[in-house]
Structure 1
Amino acid sequence: MVWDVLNMIGTIAFAVSGAIVALEVKYDIVGAYVLGLITAFGGGAIRNLFTGIPIIELWQQTTLFIIAIITISIVFLLPSHSVYVLQKWSIFDSIGLSAFAVQGAMYAHSVDLPLFAVMFSAAITGAGGGIIRDVLAQKKPIVLRQDVYLLWALFAGFIIGMGWLTESYHFYLLFAITLTLRGISHRYGWSLPTRTIQEPSKKRIRNVA
């Protein structure tokens, strides 16, 4: 039951997110469906490849595909100001990340994969679709920016991989905590350390020579 609920939440959230990005970059309706579906199902597809699940399992989610298509259609038909409000909220990526991170970790843990595999499954399920979406939209993927994003998926994977959750409500609570942490980090601009390579000045090069 938890798996199905999180799957539904993540699919709807990422379908909205993908459609909004398509409208941001001025793609047509086909582009909206492509980005929406890839965002909603891309992470799960990559996870399946790495964890040995037959890819055909992806195409057996007929109900979720229909829900995603309906969701994308609604977003595409919304008035511009409504889409702007949804874009400004910037919450659908966070919802999708949190739901799919917990779901991906739950699957990996259920088949007795080691801790790092559970954390990887959480990360790739939560962020994989968004990475593909951003690449197709010619944007720098969120997961590669300073903004704290992937860390929260790894956090969810660690908690589940350690076997600390035993009841259904524990997983819903972890989803809520992950979503809250992601929201706080985005709201206050938390970032991870970065480094850049700067070209040395010609004067410094001459002095070294």
Structure 2
Amino acid sequence: MLLNVLELLGIAVFAASGALAAVRAKLDVFGVVILALTTALGGGIIRDVLLGVHPPTSLRSWPYLLVAGVTGIVVFWFHPHVAKLRRSVLLLDAVGLGLFVTGGTTTALALGAPPYAACLIGMTTGIGGGAVRDLLLREIPLVLRREIYAVAALAGAVVVALGEWAGLPKGLVALTGASMIIAIRLVALWRKWNAPVARGLDG
């Protein structure tokens, strides 16, 4: 029950980030809701497509669609107030990333994906929606140009895969992987860490 609540909370936070990006891009209410849905559910849909799960889980579970859609509408009308909650949104975003990545990795392993593929699928579950959001806004995906985000997701996915391989309790493995992702993400935000880029490009 608690896990379901946390998952829906993660969906709401991801949807809010997508809706805020859409508002800043001056999209109409339909565009805001579509970007909210895409950001919140896109990673899970990509995961299910890669694993051959049809129709995707998020399209078969109405609470996922309802939470993401309602969040998009709320942000559309109250975006100045939501934007002021930036720190809280970033914290919840880190929690959502941890839950989505560990859940995606566990699902991939349960459906027979090899560990290396499960790690990539788990990472994609966490970052896929945001990447699609940025592409729809004609931007280079944020995870490819700055911030420690995808790296944190991949590290947590590897922990889950190693834990499953070692035969450790699944609950403990998922908790450890999610905690690592959240910790890396929050420390990176606190210390303002960014992934390195190639030097000597100014000229």
TM superposition score normalised by structure 2: 0.85
Match of 2:179 in 1: 176
Match of 1:114 in 2: 114
Shift of 1:196: 5.1
Match of 1:104 in 2: 104
Larger Rg: 1
Measured in 2, the distance between the counterparts of 1:94 and 1:172 equals: 14
Shift of 1:140: 2.6
How far does the alpha carbon of each residue in 1:107-131 deviate from its partner, in whole angstroms, 9 at most, with x for none?
0122232111111111110001000
Measured in 1, the distance between the counterparts of 2:26 and 2:2 equals: 36
Q: 1:198 to 1:167 in 2, by over 3 A?
A: closer
Match of 2:195 in 1: 192
Match of 2:24 in 1: 24
Match of 1:49 in 2: 49
Match of 2:84 in 1: 85
Shift of 1:57: 3.8
Measured in 1, the distance between the counterparts of 2:116 and 2:183 equals: 23
Q: 1:130 to 1:166 in 2, by over 3 A?
A: same
Structure 2: runs of 5 or more not aligned: none
How many pairs does the alignment contain?
199
Q: Percent identity?
A: 28
How far does the alpha carbon of each residue in 1:42-78 deviate from its partner, in whole angstroms, 9 at most, with x for none?
1111111111212354421112111111222222222
1:54 counterpart SS class: coil
Aligned 8 A contact 1:134 1:141 in 2 = yes
Q: 1:87 to 1:139 in 2, by over 3 A?
A: farther
Measured in 2, the distance between the counterparts of 1:51 and 1:8 equals: 22
Measured in 2, the distance between the counterparts of 1:15 and 1:147 equals: 20
AA in 2 matched with 1:98? G
Shift of 1:14: 0.8
Structure 1: runs of 5 or more not aligned: 201-209
Measured in 2, the distance between the counterparts of 1:143 and 1:111 equals: 27
Measured in 2, the distance between the counterparts of 1:2 and 1:102 equals: 15
Report the aligned-residue RMSD.
Answer: 2.4
Shift of 1:79: 5.6
The residue correspondences of 1:145-156 to structure 2 (distance < 5 A) are: 145-156=145-156
